[in-house]
Chain A
Amino acid sequence: MSEAPAALAPYRVLDLTGALGALAGRVLAGLGADVIKVERPGGDPARAQGPFFQHEPHPHRSLSWIFANAGKRGVTLDPAQPRGRALLFRLAATSDFLLESSPPGRLAALGLSDEQLLAANPALVVVHISPFGQSGPYRDFQATDLVAWALGGQLYLDGDDDRAPTRPSAPQTELLAGVHAAAGAVTAHYLRTRTGRGQSVDIAAQECVTWTLMIAAQVWDVSHINSRRGGAVRTAQRLDGSTLVHRVLWPCKDGFVLWSLSGGQAAGTLASTRALVRWMAEEGMADAPTEVDWSQLSAAVMDQATYDRLSAPFLAFFASKSKRELFEGSLARSIQLAAVNEIADVAASPQLAEREYWSDVAHAYLGATLRFPGAPVRLSRTPWRTPRPAPLPGEHNREIYGDLLGLSMDELRDLCAAGVV
């Protein structure tokens, strides 16, 4: 059986990223590019990042590394040594993209500035990923997931309002910056297909976080209101100075569901609320609020006593059903309600199973098959590729330095002995 074509099959990517931005190369590999991960001899320090396979820390067992570097081949190389640098230039000369996320200025200090890389290969697209960018007052600031989340503006908006702001417990800004970097890379690439000329692209994790604020920044710009965080139960500040304590996440039999108690003139909301009330009545709930004129009861104007009185039957109804029953019943009735899924619920999703979302990838070095999230986008002609397992350090040195660059076994042994690869 011949393999389906891949959109980016003609292109090669040299991937020098650490934990920050490693997903960029993974995305380009999913679209068919030949991605070569370049690690320092001994392996990328990002291999120390958990979670670890079976929770046993080891550089070969880092699931964050394995996830973000799936689909790539791997070589080792020390760019701080002159011969390593020379090898890197040779690899860059055969590549279409170079991705890196070292501290800003580090590559240039090693003689690998944009100017030098583009002089060696004028068609190269060089993508830099860093916490704050390649220039500017915060260029040299240190960051982690939490710090990017804070300075990007998302952290202030998350968590219960009577405690400190909280980030999602799955660190993700390093991955988020990676997919922005992939988008930037293909943008520069597309121009290159027309002009033959490469350029550099600068991605900052902080700015990628700022893109997640939905409309909160514009609410400040237009209305001079600083949006504030709130948990399952929130306090809405209205323009007329009144407030409404309202619920966003509602307890149910086995967890929570997301739903808003409101009526009013917006057609979708009104129909949704009426459909839920009908469902409650169908199930024989004696106090289903069927007599209420929901068209007059938008949460934007409802007073607190009314809101609290109307909440009671919904709380009782939700408590009688599981989040999956509530979601599937809502789906059938066009009710705007979602399950607050835990990781285990996501893994058991009938929708993801029916769409054959998960990809099982055998990892010989773990003696195990790992289940990956599958295609983020389904392309009808050039499907997303199920990845090869992430490489071990230097796994493809021979194949890439030998077959691709034409180094002899003697030369390779010599470089290895000198600690260059």
Chain B
Amino acid sequence: MDHRSLFAPPEGMPFAGIKVVDFAWVGVGPIVARHLADFGATVLRVESSTRPDTLRLAPPFRDGQPGLDRSAFGAVYNTNKLGLALNLRLPRARELAIRLVRWADIVTDSMTPGSLAKLGLGYEDLRRVKPEILMYSTTQMGQTGPYRDFGGYGQHGASTAGFHALTGWPDRAPAGIFGAYTDFVAPWFLYTALVAALDYRDRTGEGQYLDESQVEAALQILGPALLDYAASGQALQRSGNDDAEMTPHGVFPCASDGGSDDRWLAIAVRDAADWAALAAVIGRTEWVQDETLRDTAARRARSEELAGAITAWTRQRTPHEAMVVLQAAGVPAGAVQTCEELFADPQLLHRGHWWTLDHAVMGPHAYDAPAWKLSESPAQPRRAGPTLGQHTHAICHEILGLGDEAIAELTAEGVFE
């Protein structure tokens, strides 16, 4: 069988011809490598069924039936990659891994610090084999320091970095932010640094090692609050939907829609123009004449009364109906969309946000496309996430140069488990 088309660099793509060995698992590490693949790199996702990626064991499963190749979670961060099964605990598997490193430009890691080094695949090992190699390691806490061995997930990172405590109501326990939030902040910093390092390598011939603490990366987007605390000693606290500068600013209940009563509209009044427009739309023009409501502080003092009047209006409308009317008047307003609605959102559809890719076991299912849209070399949905080891045979043939006999022998030894 001719596998060469799998490895042909996609012409005109930014990373055509760039080769990546992806030892990372779970979220951030694979997401970064996925974006390289989406923009043309050849990425080999190295996994073993003897120690599967946690996400392959997590729902949602096709037809609700668990299985290593049945989880969308196990697939979505691996678009356009090729799947290689390799049990790195076996010496012969490690020999093959070293041969792949010689082939590669970039090697990825997201294991507990030191795990790959124990297998002889740490950065110091790899640079002896290939001095110009680029390698990244991404973990919750980074490669050094007293907390470096913490083996948590993005929800632990979000909690550690402060996002959980900052989300919720001041009169209650924190609600926390949904999901593994820092897993979806940290990748973009690492990706940007990696591409810069790749350009530096091209210019100088020098490789390097990138150490990312996902907590440290995510703290960037709390920057203003951190600067303020260090300067004033006053720490930002969770405050529901109140905003320091905008009032009214909140989430208002709407008429039931799509069979649900849990329907909401977000409204933010930035300035006098928004204030006048909101008042006009909801039929409260007397507010604009009311000098005692002219500034934000005064409106905040009467926020319950204002919220009551706004709610009386939003209650009569679905979130999308209310949004369209307010937006037509120039007021920032947004339907609080459910996941179901995101698949029908005309703007996300216009941007091609949802890719439907045909997975070898699950069949067609949805993937998020990269958020950055390039005019001349856009990301391309070429392949669904691979099943575990889906392309092992092809990779052995085309990249490692192994014949069928050698492959059979290694298979019998369990190298490809």
What residue in chain B is nearest A170 (Cβ atoms)? B225
The distance in angstroms between the C-alpha atoms of A295 and B246, with both chains bound, is 51
Contacts of A116 in B (CB 8 A): none
Answer yes or no: B162 CB below 8 A from chain A CBs: yes
Cβ contact within 8 Å between A248 and B176: yes
Answer yes or no: B98 CB below 8 A from chain A CBs: no
If A153-B339, A211-B371 touch, whether A256 touches B165 (CB-CB below 8 Å) is: yes
Answer yes or no: A306 CB below 8 A from chain B CBs: no
Cβ contact within 8 Å between A204 and B351: yes
What number of A-B contacts does a CB cutoff of 8 Å give?
511
The segment from A72-80, A136-144, A391-399, A412-420 that touches chain B is A136-144
Cβ contact within 8 Å between A342 and B235: yes
Q: Which 10 A-B pairs have the closest CB atoms?
A: A184-B372, A214-B179, A136-B350, A381-B208, A231-B175, A371-B230, A157-B178, A150-B334, A147-B334, A150-B266
What residue in chain A is nearest B330 (Cβ atoms)? A142
The segment from B85-93, B190-198, B394-402 that touches chain A is B190-198
The distance in angstroms between the C-alpha atoms of A381 and B330, with both chains bound, is 49
Contact flags (1/0) for B348-366 with A, using CB distance below 8 Å?
Answer: 1011010000000010011
If A190-B198, A201-B375, A376-B220 touch, whether A218 touches B175 (CB-CB below 8 Å) is: no
Cβ contact within 8 Å between B208 and A222: no
If A218-B73, A221-B72 touch, whether A170 touches B184 (CB-CB below 8 Å) is: no
Contacts of B181 in A (CB 8 A): 212, 214
What residue in chain B is nearest A334 (Cβ atoms)? B151
The segment from B60-68, B114-122, B281-289 that touches chain A is B60-68
Cβ contact within 8 Å between B339 and A155: no
Answer yes or no: B409 CB below 8 A from chain A CBs: no
| A206-252 CB contacts (< 8 Å) to partner B | 206-208, 210-232, 239, 248-249, 251
Answer yes or no: A347 CB below 8 A from chain B CBs: yes
Answer yes or no: B49 CB below 8 A from chain A CBs: no
Count, chain A residues at interface, CB 8 A:
152
Cβ contact within 8 Å between B179 and A371: no
The distance in angstroms between the C-alpha atoms of A229 and B167, with both chains bound, is 12
Other than the known A160-B168, A258-B156, what 15 A-B pairs have Cβ atoms closer than 8 Å?
A7-B197, A136-B347, A147-B333, A155-B264, A155-B266, A169-B239, A180-B188, A203-B372, A227-B339, A258-B164, A336-B152, A338-B160, A346-B226, A372-B223, A373-B222
The segment from A87-95, A191-199, A273-281, A400-408 that touches chain B is A191-199
| B187-223 CB contacts (< 8 Å) to partner A | 188-193, 195-200, 202-204, 206-213, 215-217, 219-223
Contact flags (1/0) for A344-384 with B, using CB distance below 8 Å?
Answer: 11110011101101100000000010111111111111101
Answer yes or no: B337 CB below 8 A from chain A CBs: yes
Answer yes or no: A331 CB below 8 A from chain B CBs: yes
What residue in chain B is nearest A49 (Cβ atoms)? B245
Which of these, A138, A341, A347, A354, contacts B346 with CB under 8 Å? A138
Chain A nearest Cβ from B268, distance in angstroms: 4
Chain B nearest Cβ from A416, distance in angstroms: 29
Contacts of B270 in A (CB 8 A): 144
Answer yes or no: B35 CB below 8 A from chain A CBs: yes
Answer yes or no: B141 CB below 8 A from chain A CBs: yes
The distance in angstroms between the C-alpha atoms of A357 and B181, with both chains bound, is 21
